[in-house]
Copies of this chain bind each other. A is one copy, B any other.
């Protein structure tokens, strides 16, 4: 531990690197647009690879475009991997993903300059297309890396203009020769902004992420009967909008009644014909349910569907549902989570065990190696937003904990 206590990450350099990468694809009023496999993504990758090489890392690119920067340890073997992504949404910020990659790079730079050589190798990973804003699915690079999707299927994914991942990877020069799944990782650490308001609201510095909540997205289509709002008695109506509204209200009630980590959101809703004086013939809406507990999530889905079916029957309308996305909750490695917590304590940081509300590459890596995440506060809970911001002190605290956890992992004897 004496080694660790001496190595302090270079905060000024970390902040400068975040600003520098944020210049690539910068939007006029602030924020960044660096969609996966775009020209801006290529420039961002080129910049990051150059920084890796400057810092003594050996760079490899795999067949789905994931970039790995290797720093040898005193022994051979699978590296302790740290990373995230550098693609953004169309109107993204400077921190989502980028922070995890650049803090990982800063960890290696700091250790190198401090003359600290860990037992196990370290690696800095940049995963392709985490956002899914241009090519589906999101978390594509890490999903393919862990064997969760065949390479060919990912390469065939098209954007809205019909361009494939394969063609765009080739065009930007990042379809690498390393087979997907290599290098095997000893363990995986991802430092990330929270993208939610919990830490800031509670005045807490570090989120010790225990897992990623499960996600259930369902599209409901209600088919009622269009009729004149002025001539159709209430008792004779088959109002698709009413059933949609009832389900939206019920979703909130359900989440409140279940409590715990249950979330429920009706964020999209479209009526037809959508006129002031016409009873809606059709309502299409989505329900986003999330929970860290797999059984509770399934229960929420079942209860909501049962309610929707009763409401539809009472109104005499038809109901169809379609699953848009379904991910089981991911639980991070208990020992790694404990390690993150102990290092937050060692640095006298206030901290909170919490789930991740959003999806991250770490949830894919958790399938193949012990994985964990560290969160720092997001001002206003904002993310996927040009106003995304985390205060410098918070950024430095997170990076320092990443360094200490990575070093302890790389030097552990068991």
Q: Point out the residues of chain B lying under 8 angstroms from A233, CB to CB.
A: 196-198, 263
A384: min CB distance to chain B, Å: 7
Which A residues between 206 and 242 are near B, CB-CB below 8 angstroms? 213, 215, 217, 219, 227-234, 236, 239, 241-242
Query: Least Cβ distance of A99 to chain B in Å?
Result: 16
A298 within 8 A of B: no
Q: What is the CB-to-nearest-CB distance from A205 to chain B, in angstroms, rounded to a whole number?
A: 17
Q: Are B195 and A231 in contact (CB under 8 A)?
A: yes
Provide the bound-state CA to CA distance between A275 and B89, in Å: 14
Instruction: Select the stretch in A43-51, A112-120, A143-151, A265-273 that faces chain B.
Output: A265-273
What B residues does A290 contact at CB under 8 A? Answer: 229-230
- From B198, B270, B280, B357, give the contact of A274 (CB < 8 A): B270
In the complex the two chains form, is A265's CB within 8 Å of B248's CB?
A: no
Q: Which chain A residues in 251-286 approach chain B with CB under 8 Å? A: 252, 255-256, 262-271, 273-280, 286
Q: Chain A: how many interface residues by the 8 Å CB criterion?
A: 59
**When the two chains form their complex, are residues A269 and B252 in contact, meaning their CB atoms are under 8 A apart?**
no
The complex places the Cα of A324 from the Cα of B275 at a distance, in Å, of: 12
Q: Is the CB of B263 within 8 A of A252?
A: no
A249 within 8 A of B: yes
Chain B residue at minimum C-beta to C-beta distance from A256: B234
In the complex, what residues of B have CB within 8 A of residue A268's CB? 271, 274-276
Q: Which of B201, B228, B234 contacts A358 (CB 8 A)?
A: B228
Main secondary structure on A side of the interface with B: mixed
A293, chain B: closest CB distance, angstroms: 15
Q: Mark A328-372, 1 if CB is under 8 A from B, else 0.
A: 000000000000000000000000000011110000000000000
> Are B228 and A383 in contact, with the CB atoms below 8 A?
yes
**A263 and B249 contact, CB distance less than 8 A:** no
| A74: interface (CB < 8 Å) | no
**Does chain B have a CB within 8 A of A244?**
yes
Query: Cα distance A219–B275 when bound, in Å?
Result: 11
Is the CB–CB distance between B269 and A269 below 8 Å? yes
Interface residue ranges of A355-414 to B (CB < 8 Å): 356-359, 381, 383-384
New contact pairs (12) apart from A265-B279, A269-B269, CB-CB < 8 Å: A196-B227, A197-B231, A228-B384, A230-B263, A230-B290, A233-B263, A241-B269, A242-B249, A267-B275, A267-B277, A267-B280, A268-B276
